[in-house]
Structure 1
């Protein structure tokens, strides 16, 4: 059986968000790996005018193209990509799911406040440009239209009713210091997805971009083992 892996990035991001995991899997697995970019996303954001259906269709097209070349497909999704991965698992045959910081719920006010406090301290010291979180979000704050945020929320609302009907082996990874997706989202998914085979990895220091967490090598190994078991 020829295996394929579809990796889906997050809202207002691109394949670079999941690149560490993508490269790890390329090194350790012999299978077709695909990392599409949604309309308006990528290194040069131009999101205005694109809607939820465009991003869902981008993922569906990537799935269908991969399905022509392989026998089984695993879907890995980060943030909004995790929500879209659930959408695909409801509509298409999916062998396994890996959900990274899946944004079925969003914004952790307590952690976001802590992150803002840290950025304020570094701003006072003149070190704000060195703050990793600031670097990741500075460009997005300037270029993402509010209308795009509304479209993202439409995807979440569309997919949420599907969760209790998805019976696919699932591995959930979540950072406990994620200021965008609260870690309760991971527990919600773990409790709501009815499959008997499901795993949950909580990264004690992980923030939203979990593929860049300090302990990513640890859970990369666990995900690899999960994907390689029949």
Structure 2
């Protein structure tokens, strides 16, 4: 199946810093989304000289039906492979993500605490207070999908090019794995910069509270975005995310 417009992955080689070190940044898009939500951020970081990787997760970027046989485990394996490839050509790597991408990033940091130099999370998802999700274990056998969650963006005329349907089996696999991710949060020691939209119609504030209250990181910063919805990397506050994350990467990877 051909990739949808704007779903192409993005990579940049970067340039060594003043000490001759190459710094890498891995950015992950969210559930039913695509690299389109992350590439502008990735390009900004690439312009700062960083080696950047924005991969396409399995089942994404084509049509929602292609997600039906995929699970959260497939997405994590893809991110871990990309991380290992980036680490092989860089001296130090920072990992970031939006929504489910933030969940993947923080689980990666929990599993590789010595190798992740920093974490940048934008509206990460590790929990939900939505009671409707309780029906998923049975509902996923009755219907294949429900309406999509893409394009929660305040800025007019902007699209993240995500799916218009949400595959329920894949969604359930993510929600089931959240428990494992939450249990591993105390293993996270990397410096953490977390952006959270004050108004988010996809991920509720419980995820940020759980993350900030559970990680073992001593260097933790939370930023509340007042003028963006869920896909903040494409929204009004995107420049703040780009600029502050670039400064964060510079600081946490300094020799």
| Secondary structure of the structure 1 residue equivalent to 2:125 | coil
Matched, 1:31 2:53: no
What TM-score does the superposition give when structure 1 sets the normalisation length? 0.82
Equivalent position of 1:14 in the other structure: 34
In the alignment, is residue 190 of structure 1 matched against residue 212 of structure 2?
yes
Distance in 2 between residues matched to 1:138 and 1:200, nearest whole Å? 27
**Gap runs ≥5 in structure 1:** 110-129
Residue 40 of structure 1 is aligned with which of 51, 55, 59? Answer: 59
Q: Aligned pair count? A: 208
1:140 aligned onto 2:163: yes
Aligned pair in 2 of structure 1 residues 155, 17: CA closer, same or farther (>3 Å)? Answer: farther
User: Could you tell me how far apart the structure 1 residues matched to 2:87 and 2:32 are?
Assistant: 26
Aligned-partner Cα distance in 1 for 2:160–2:92: 35
Residue in 2 that maps onto 1:50: 70
Secondary structure at 1:77 match in 2:
strand
- Deviation, 1:154, is 2.6
CA contact (8 A) 1:105 1:185 kept: yes
- What is the CA distance between 1:189 and its match in structure 2? 1.7
Partner SS, residue 33 of structure 1? strand
Q: TM-score, normalised by structure 2?
A: 0.74
Three-state SS of the structure 1 residue aligned to 2:52 is: strand
Q: Aligned residue for 2:136?
A: none
Gaps of 5+ in 2: 1-20, 132-150
Aligned partners of 2:33 and 2:161 also within 8 Å:
no
